[in-house]
Amino acid sequence: MRQTEISVERSIADTSEEPAEQTSQIPQGKKPSMVLRIVTVAAVLFTAWHVFASFLWIAPASPLRDVVPGNALSKYMLPMFGQSWSVFAPEPINGDNRMLVRAVLSEDGKEHTTEWLNVTDVESQLLTRQLFPARAGNHSIDLASSYRSAYAKLSAEQKETVNLGFFKGDDWAPRVTQALYAQGDNHAAINGYINAEFRAVRYSTQVARAIWGENVVRVQFQMQRQNVIPFKERNNPDAQRPATQQTLSGWRGLQVAAGQSERDFAETFTRLYKELQK
């Protein structure tokens, strides 16, 4: 009996020593490689920059923005990360911007003008009833807003000029710029307008070719804005939205941006257009 108890005690002693032996045999963790450290540091720095840039962008304009040289901040934030406080008081968004396009088609030696196409209505399908709205649904809205703003900075004489038709010959685009420079020394306003117009012309060209095909010979766009019912009249059942404000342009020749894919654009835009017609 005594011998049996001694054997049991030895077994227990042997068992109690095993964790100590196993613990001493646990391998030590490897140190992160140099590549992993570099990636981690880069990720942290990028996150810090993005948070800082977003803060500068959405904060009210101040000299603090001068910390980022040149236009590096706007190039980084636009178009992917653009945002603002314009949905809040004291100056919330209080109107809808729209872009309309029409074209002249050449068929069987004759030319005829199409009806106006509301581009914004087509695009807006990418925003409504979508779990993940596409930023492309805001493109014509942004164009309409930026064009109206640039147009408003021109003189009365310059506005009359841009409402004329510039579409004959391959040099129509430089002629628009030259005509505006000849009518004033407001170079900043002219450059801002030309940039907005060329963007609108290129987009109008894509839209026109997507809907009406290769017979398009020139395009014309129209930017509209309609304000919402004023807040003080929100409870008035007879209140009506203010009249639509229109910003016209003359006819323009076709213009295509380098690197743009008309085929990919046409596939998406025509699909949305057909869905809108249902």
Please give the residue that has the higher pLDDT: either 239 or 89. 239
pTM of the complete model beyond 0.85: no
Please give the residue that has the higher pLDDT: either 12 or 149. 149
* pLDDT at 86 (0 to 100): 65
User: Which contiguous run of DSSP H or E holds residue 37?
Assistant: helix 34-58
Burial of 225 (0-12, 13-18, 19+ CB in 10 A): middle
Please give the residue that has the higher pLDDT: either 250 or 84. 250
- The residue-averaged pLDDT of 20-48 equals 78
Give SS3 for 117.
strand
* pLDDT at 9 (0 to 100): 52
- The residue-averaged pLDDT of 195-209 equals 95
Please give the residue that has the higher pLDDT: either 5 or 223. 223
Burial of 236 (0-12, 13-18, 19+ CB in 10 A): exposed
* pLDDT at 74 (0 to 100): 81
Residue 117 has pLDDT above 90, yes or no: yes
Q: Determine the residue type at 123.
A: E
Q: Determine the residue type at 149.
A: S
Task: Kindly indicate the confidence band of residue 115, based on its pLDDT and cuts at 50, 70 and 90.
Answer: very high
- In order of 40, 173, 178, the CA distances from 187 in angstroms are 46, 17, 11
Task: Kindly indicate the confidence band of residue 229, based on its pLDDT and cuts at 50, 70 and 90.
Answer: confident
Size (the chain), residues: 278
Give SS3 for 275.
helix
3-state SS, one letter per residue, for 49-116:
HHHHHHHHHHCCCCHHHHHCCCCHHHHHHCCCCCCCCCCCCCCCCCEEEEEEEEEEEEECCEEEECCC
- The residue-averaged pLDDT of 186-200 equals 94
Contacts of residue 140, defined as CB under 8 A and 6 or more positions apart, other chains included, come to: 98, 99, 119, 120, 123, 203
Task: Kindly indicate the confidence band of residue 165, based on its pLDDT and cuts at 50, 70 and 90.
Answer: very high
* pLDDT at 10 (0 to 100): 53
- The residue-averaged pLDDT of 3-20 equals 51
* pLDDT at 223 (0 to 100): 96
User: Which contiguous run of DSSP H or E holds residue 143?
Assistant: helix 139-152
For the chain, give the mean pLDDT. 85
Residue 247 backbone phi and psi in degrees, to 5: -120, 110
* pLDDT at 180 (0 to 100): 96
CA distance between the termini of the chain: 96
